[in-house]
Amino acid sequence: MVDVLAQFTMKTKTEKDFVSWIREKIKYYVPILGLELHEIEIEASEDQYMGMKYTYPYLDPILWYSKKSFKDWTEGKLKKDRILHELCHILTDPFYCKAISRYVSENEIRDEREKLTDTFAAIIRKLL
């Protein structure tokens, strides 16, 4: 009888709850990663489990989620670190954009490498 009552009183998790959870994690990680200037949007995606649409050099990335990631979250299978992983793409994508460019110089790659390295050093310095 108690199990039936517990099930009855448990709130069903909605997609709106999921987006709120994602926003909460973004709010937590943004100051740690130094991403305060970014305007991070959240959108549903048909083909991405979770992903970050890079908008380099602009500061308005989009975090994507899918029905599968929402389902995993409702079942307690999606860890908050997944949001951290997606946010780290904001840091690594400038290097990625240069690296996959057809016409890129060694100096551009070196500059992005140093910027990425310095960003990680700043993050670690904040944590220490």
Per-residue DSSP letter, 12: P
Mean pLDDT of 102-119: 89
pLDDT digits (tens, 9 = 90+) for 9-43: 567 999 999 999 999 999 999 999 999 999 999 99
Give the per-residue pLDDT at 67.
96
- In one-letter notation, the amino acid at residue 107 is N
- The residues facing 41 across adjacent strands are 62
The chain-wide mean pLDDT, for the chain, equals 89
Place of tokens 């305007």: 39
- Cis before residue 61, ω within 30 degrees of 0? no
pLDDT(80) > 90: no
Closest to 108 measured CA to CA, from 119, 120, 96, 118: 96
Residue 4 has pLDDT above 80, yes or no: no
pTM score: 0.81
